[in-house]
Every structure is written in structure tokens, then in C-alpha cells.
Amino acid sequence: MTTTTEIVLLALGVFAILTALTALGESLRARVPAGQHAAGVETFNARIRSWWIMAALFSLALLAGRPGLVLLFALASFAALREFATYTAKAREDHAALALAFFLILPLQFLFVGLGYAAIFTVLIPVHVFLILPVLSALGGSPRRFLTRVAETQWALMTCVYGLSHVPALLTLDPARAGEAAVLLVAFLILTVQGAELTEAVARRRLGGPLIAPEINRRTWAGVGAGVAAGTALGGALAWLTPFPVWQAALLAGAGSAMGLGGTMALSAIKREHGLKDWSDLIPGQGGVLDGMGGVIFAAPLFFHLCALLR
Amino acid sequence: MSWTDRARRLLARLCGQAIVVFARTVTAVRAEWRGVAPLPVQRVYFANHTSNADMPMIWAALPPALRARTRPVAAADYWLRTRLRAFFGAEVFRAVLIDRRREARTEDPMAAILGALDEGHSLILFPEGNRNMGPEPLLPFRAGLHSIALERPQVELVPTWIANLNAIMPKGEVIPLPLIATVTFGAPVRLEPGEDRAAFLARAAAALLALRPANGEAA
């Protein structure tokens, strides 16, 4: 099978699944008695709607090739950083550091990803930016809540920029096959992590059981277990998207799913801390970029390095 | 109407649209209707004032149908200083311009405000009177809000908190940070029977402060 055939098959498969899920959501809604409101059903439907949007944007980016994919994730990263930085601790004195984060560090990170300079994009933010931004903040002159301010800014950059940039960074792993096969790896990561999250959301209601952390969200161990299992199984079934054998693909997807579900747990804790329901209302009925892509953000760096090892 | 008037009006409308688009893309301004629904009811939105962008921000956060009937109350000495500002103040925002200079003014500001209400407009009002540059979250309110409550009791007085604008564009900075600005609309405040001016203004200020997010604003 050529890569193009695989992309077409994948797109058809995704559209078929989304159509089926949309039909399922509508039938669930039809079963809700008139005048009543089932929050679970509405959340499910809203999530499917946002998947349609993501699938459409992703398809458009694929048509534009590697630059399109890098640009799409750079824009998503910008929106995510805006959501995160809205709630981080900051003072007037951090203005220069934050402006630098949005308008220089973020574009540079995605530029280096686009150019394939792995030696730079894997260390730029966790090492160099980590060391330089606190200096800028200190030059601002205010010691008040200093460590909180610089730590939260670094957290924003690590998740929203570094984490998210490792999705298009997968394109740099496979130069021999000219990028197209690696495009499939991006699809593999997103599909398995999102599949795990969707399964968790459904399974936690079906299976019940004790909550993991009632103060953070309604997640249960049974639901998360089902999510990781579904992600792993989905990974095995989609192994044809990767250059790896079925068992390796399944393990990769399982690791990504566990990381993704863990990451959305951490992001939920931050939302609770700030009394937020959603990070923003960028995607109507769904929430912000961080609500939709949180799991992928946490899964991408691990997934990237595991793929680099196995390759 | 002459064609130059028409052209000016079209230009004013385009400039208004441009401001809304700019506010939505740079600050991703969003409205949170916590205490009232976005309905076309006659209202005075009274808001905290820390930045020159406050008024355009509330204006952009309103749905178009509400925006079309809402006019900001603004200082004439600021909005008439240059021809460009006069165009934006009077024609884009259709501001009710009032004279802040107590001694020199010839027109009573209250008369202009009540006149605009009697024409059916909703208003955006900054009851602190001036921009708040200090560490306090709110300055003491001027008397105007109480006069409106007394003279036009049917008009809803909606507390409106603008969050994050100071972090987006602190005074003296050149580059705005693209953070999310939130405009929160609270439940209307009414003048209680027998309530005096000081008590009412204190209660209105407390209702406005209650909308302030606990976290997320620059300390």
C-alpha cells in the first residue's frame, strides 16, 4: 500500500466513525425525555462536534503537507498558550518575558520543528528558555511571588508550546520516507489518545466504582483502565499506520493513552484551582484548545521519544 | 442626508466592526452573562475602569443587537481633543459626551445621561469617574449612578467587571499580550426603599467587586 492510499483510507475511516458517533449521539439525545436535559449526552455530542472540526482542519493541513501541519499546530499552540497564560501568576514586571514567549519563543520552536532541527527543538524551551526568562523577569525588578511567576510561565510554555510542538515533530522522525508516512504517525497518536479519552468518558458512567480524586474530577479507576485498554487495542488495530509491528504499535498507543489521561487529570486540577469549567470558549459547545488537546499535549513528547527509539 | 454624511456613517460602521474584530482576535474578549441574560432590555452597564481599552472591550463583548442600542458615557475633554478621537467618540461609539470640569461646564452631565436613556438607549458607565491607577480594585463611586437609580427606576443597573485588561496592556508597554479578557455581567442592582445615596453606592460597588475573579488577575 502506498502512503497516499493509506491517507485516503484513514480519512474515509475517520469520517465513517465520526458519522456513526454523530448518529449515536443524536439517538441518545432522542431518548432523553422532552423538556429534560442530559448533561452527559450533551457533553458527548459536543465532543463529537469538536472532532469533526479537528478532522476537517487536520485534513486541510495534510493537503498543505508538512508546512501546513506545522502551521496548524503552531496556531493551536498560540491559542493554548493564551488560555493557559490567562490564569498564570504574573506581574507588570513579567510583561517582556511573556511577550517574548508569545511572539518569539513559540514561533522559533515551531520553525525549528519545521526545519527538523531536533537537536535544538528538544532543548530550546526546557533548557535555554528555562534559564533565560527568569533573568528577564528579575531585570523587571520585583521580587514579589517571583518563583511562582517564573515557574508558572515555564509550565505554560512546557505544556502549550513544547508539548504540542512534539506532534508535528513526529514528521522529522522518518526522513527516508519523505514525511508522508510520518503524517500517518501524527494521525495514529491523535486517534489513539482521543479514542482513550472518549472511551474513558463513556466507561466511567457505565462501570461506576470509586472516584480517583473527587475534588479534581469525576474520573474512576475503572474508567481510566478502560480508556487505556481501548487506546492500546486501537493502537494494535491501527498498526498499519505505523512502521512498527502490531505489539509495538499497541504498546506505544497504550503508553500515549496513559500519559494523555494522566495529563488531562493534571490540567483538570489546574482548572479546579482556578474555578474554571473550560479553558476558553474558542470551540463553541466544547471549550478551549486545552480542553480538546490536553491529552495529546502530555502524550506527544513520550510518544516522540519512544518512536525515535523503536525506529 | 448628503452623500458625505452617508460616507461618514458607513466609515463609522466599518471602524466599529474593525474594533470588534481586533478585540476578538487580540484579546479573545468573551462575555460571561452571570446575573442577567443578553436580552435587549434597557440597561446601564456600570463597570470598573483601569484602562483606555475598557469601554471598547465591553462594547465588543456585547452581542450586535445589544451593541447597536448601547452608548458609552465618556469624558468630553478626552474624546474631543483631536478630530480623530471626535470621530471615534461621537460617530463610531456614539458616546454620550459629558464635561468633567465642574466649574467650567455649561451643560449638566446628568441631563445628558437621562436624555440618552429617555431616547431608549442603554449606557456603559464608569462610576469611578476616572481611570483607577492605584492598588485598590475600585475607587469610590461618584453620585451619578444613584441619580439614575432615583430618576429612572425602570432601567436595569448591571454591574460589569472587566478582568485582565491591565495584564494585557499595562500602562507604558507597547506590545499587548494576547491573553483572554473576560467581561462578566452580574445581577442588576436596584435602589431599595429608604436607602440613602452612600448605602446604595456602597452596595453597587460591592456587587461589582463580587464579580472579580478570585484568581487569574495580575496581582
The per-residue pLDDT for range A103-133, each reduced to its tens digit, is 999 999 999 999 999 999 999 999 999 999 9
Q: Parallel, antiparallel, or unpaired: how do β-strands B30-33 and B122-125 relate?
A: unpaired
Domain annotation covers residue B155: yes
Measured between beta carbons, the chain B residues lying within 8 angstroms of A145 are 219
CA neighbor of B40 nearest in space, from B143, B128, B120, B105: B120
- Distances in Å between the alpha carbon of A306 and those of A15, A224, A254, A255, A311? 29, 22, 12, 9, 8
Pair B98, B76: CB distance under 8 Å:
yes
* Residue A268 resides in a domain: yes
Total domain count, chain B? 1
Gap from A91 CA to chain B (nearest CA, Å): 5
Which has the closest alpha carbon to A261: A210, A306, A297? A297
Nearest CA distance, B177 vs chain A (angstrom): 6
Taking CB atoms and an 8 Å limit, are B170 and A92 in contact across chains?
yes
**Helices and strands of chain B, counted as H and E runs:** 9, 7
Contact A86 B214 (CB under 8 A): no
Cell of A45: 455530542
Minimum-distance CB partner of A85 among B30, B179, B219: B179
Grid cell listed for B199? 448605602
Residues A198-254: tens digit of each pLDDT: 899 889 988 888 999 999 999 999 999 999 999 999 999 999 988 899 999 999 999
H or E segment at B158? strand B156-163
Identity (one letter) of the amino acid at A167? V
CA distances from A163 to A53, A255, A261, A303 (A): 21, 15, 15, 11
Residue in chain A nearest B214 by alpha carbon: A274
Residue A183 resides in a domain: yes
Tracing cell 491573553 back to the chain, one arrives at B179
Segment B57-71 shows an average pLDDT of: 92
Look at residue B217 and tell me if it is in a domain. Answer: no
C-alpha cell at A213: 480524586
Q: Is residue A23 part of a domain?
A: no
CA distance A10 to chain B (A): 33
Residue A180 — pLDDT band, cuts 50, 70, 90?
low
Residues 6+ apart with CB under 8 A from A88: A149, A152, A153, A155, A156
Tell me whether residue B140 is in a domain. yes
Q: What digits encode the pLDDT tens for the residues A282-301?
A: 776 678 889 989 999 999 99
Q: Between A and B, how many CB-CB pairs are < 8 A?
A: 45
Q: Could you identify the residue written with the cell 422532552?
A: A34
- A→B contacts (Cβ < 8 Å), by residue, are 78, 82-83, 85-87, 89-92, 95, 98-99, 102-103, 144-145, 273-275, 280-282
Looking at this protein, which amino acid is placed at residue B104?
A
Asked if residue A96 lies in contact with residue A201, where contact means CB atoms within 8 angstroms, the answer is no
Q: How far apart are CA A298 and CA B158, in angstroms?
A: 42
Q: What average pLDDT does this structure show over A82-107? A: 94
Shortest CA distance from A78: residue in chain B: B178
Report residue B216's pLDDT band, with 50, 70 and 90 as the boundaries.
Answer: very low
For residue B164, the chain A residues in CB contact (below 8 A) are: 86
> Is the residue at B78 inside a domain?
yes
Q: What are phi and psi of A244, to 5 degrees?
A: -105, 155
Per the prediction, chain A carries an average pLDDT of: 89
From chain B, pick out residues whose CB is under 8 angstroms from the CB of A273: 215
Taking alpha carbons only, the member of A170, A7, A191 closest to residue A73 is: A170
Check whether A255 has a pLDDT greater than 70.
yes
CB contact under 8 A, A82 and B180: yes
d(CA B85, CA B87): 5
- Angstrom distance (rounded) from CA A142 to CA A136: 11
Q: Pick from A83, A87, A95: which is nearest to B170 by CB?
A: A95
SS3 B143: coil
CATH code for the domain of B178: 3.40.1130.10
The total domain count for chain A is: 1
Q: Hey, how many other C-beta atoms are within 10 angstroms of the C-beta on A46?
A: 17
Note the pLDDT of residue B137.
87
Contact between chains at B179 and A89 (C-beta distance less than 8 A): no
Which residues constitute the domain of residue A100? Answer: 72-310
Q: Is the pTM of this model over 0.90?
A: no
Name chain B contacts of A92, Cβ cutoff 8 Å. 170, 218
Using a CB-CB distance cutoff of 8 angstroms, which residues of chain A are in contact with residue B180?
82-83, 86, 280
- Our CA angle for A214, A203, A207, nearest 5°, is 75
On whether residue A83 sits in a domain, the answer given is yes
Q: Which amino acid is at A307?
A: C
Residue A57 in any domain: the answer is no
Kindly provide the ipTM of the predicted complex, given to two decimals: 0.78
Quick check: is A250 in a domain?
A: yes
User: Is residue B219 included in any domain, yes or no?
Assistant: no
Contact B127, B49 (CB under 8 A): no
Residues of chain B contacting residue A90, judged by C-beta atoms under 8 Å apart: 167, 218
A274 and B175 within 8 Å at the Cβ level: the answer is: no
Confidence of residue A178 (pLDDT cuts 50, 70, 90): very low
- The answer as to whether B72 is a domain residue is yes
Strand, coil or helix: what is B159? strand
Any CB–CB contact under 8 A between B63 and chain A? no
Question: Which runs of consecutive H residues, i.e. helices, occur in A158-288?
Answer: 164-165, 180-207, 221-237, 246-273
Coil vs helix vs strand at A99: helix
Per 3-state DSSP, what percentage of chain B is helix, strand, and coil (rounded to 5)?
40, 15, 45
Residue B102 phi/psi, 5-degree rounding, is -55, -40
Give domain status of residue B216, yes or no.
Answer: no
Distance CA A238, CA A10 (A): 9
